[in-house]
């Protein structure tokens, strides 16, 4: 049985300001750093073999900060794969490999692209377009915000990445940490939990809270 932990990054400076973020690369807020550390303490006993993050700094920071609290005391090292999962162990000698956890960054795990809403305050946007329209843009499955991705579009990049790149690691018996974003993780959780388009409307993923899954008998399911 292998373990899969999904974690949404800690609070970012734009989460704090209530601004649509999407692909804008903003860092964690002070509270976000604390959340990442607390999450790391909660998963401190899990020996991770591999970490996947988006290419966005808030997700990378969260994984790195969380690993600072890990009992393994291994150093997470970003691996540059040029698009493929390289035989990373060839880069490091045996002694180093034992103390290192490879971190793969990939844009397929990036937050949903929010188009014209990026940089706009969420409350002000709701005043202009109405609460209901903004809620549909934020949480529906197939209604895209202006010039942005809907969750279905996001799933078209996250799910192939999950099945082709992350799942084989679980199948190989590796414990995997994925640090990503509210909506990129909503699409993955929708897939794993088998949620309907209606059910996903209500799915909220809080910042800095580890979600526990396990791979057993050929399937990924919730561990608690």
Ligand X SMILES: O=C(O)[C@@H](CO)OP(=O)(O)O
C-beta closer to ligand X: residue 158 or 183: 183
Residues labelled as active-site residues: 9, 111
Q: How far is the CB of 4 from ligand X (least distance, A)?
A: 21
Q: Is 212 annotated as a binding residue?
A: no
Q: Give the separation between CA 195 and CA 182, rounded to whole angstroms.
A: 16
Residue 115 near residue 22, CB atoms below 8 Å: yes
C-beta closer to ligand X: residue 14 or 162: 14
C-beta closer to ligand X: residue 1 or 123: 123
Q: Is 148 annotated as a binding residue?
A: no
Q: How far is the CB of 90 from ligand X (least distance, A)?
A: 37
Q: Is 80 annotated as a binding residue?
A: no
For binding to ligand X (CB under 6 A), which residues are involved? Answer: 15, 20-22, 111, 114, 138, 182-183
Q: How far is the CB of 171 from ligand X (least distance, A)?
A: 30
Q: Give the separation between CA 95 and CA 30, rounded to whole angstroms.
A: 35
Residue 137 C-beta-side C-alpha neighbours within 13 Å:
21
In this chain, which residue has its C-beta nearest to ligand X?
21
Q: Is 121 annotated as a binding residue?
A: no
The annotated binding site is made up of 8-15, 21-22, 58, 111-114, 122, 138-139, 182-183
């Amino acid at each position: 049985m292998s373990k899969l932990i999904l974690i949404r990054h800690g609070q970012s400076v734009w989460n704090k300001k209530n601004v649509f973020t999407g692909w804008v690369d903003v860092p964690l807020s002070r509270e976000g750093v604390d959340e990442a550390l607390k999450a790391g303490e909660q998963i401190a006993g899990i020996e991770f073999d591999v970490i996947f993050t988006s290419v966005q700094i808030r997700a990378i920071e969260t994984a790195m900060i969380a690993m600072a609290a890990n009992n393994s005391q291994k150093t997470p090292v970003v691996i540059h794969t040029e698009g493929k999962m390289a035989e990373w162990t060839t880069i490091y000698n045996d002694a180093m490999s034992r103390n290192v956890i490879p971190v793969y960054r990939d844009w397929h795990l990036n937050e949903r692209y929010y188009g014209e809403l990026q940089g706009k305050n969420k409350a002000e946007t709701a005043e202009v377009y109405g609460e209901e329209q903004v809620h549909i843009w934020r949480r529906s499955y197939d209604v895209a915000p202006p010039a942005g991705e809907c969750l279905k579009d996001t799933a078209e990049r996250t799910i192939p990445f999950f099945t082709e790149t992350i799942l084989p690691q679980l199948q190989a018996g590796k414990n995997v940490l994925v640090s990503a974003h509210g909506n990129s993780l909503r699409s993955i959780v929708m897939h794993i939990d088998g949620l309907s388009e209606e059910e996903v409307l209500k799915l909220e993923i809080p910042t800095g809270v580890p979600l526990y899954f396990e791979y057993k008998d050929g399937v990924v399911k919730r561990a608690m």
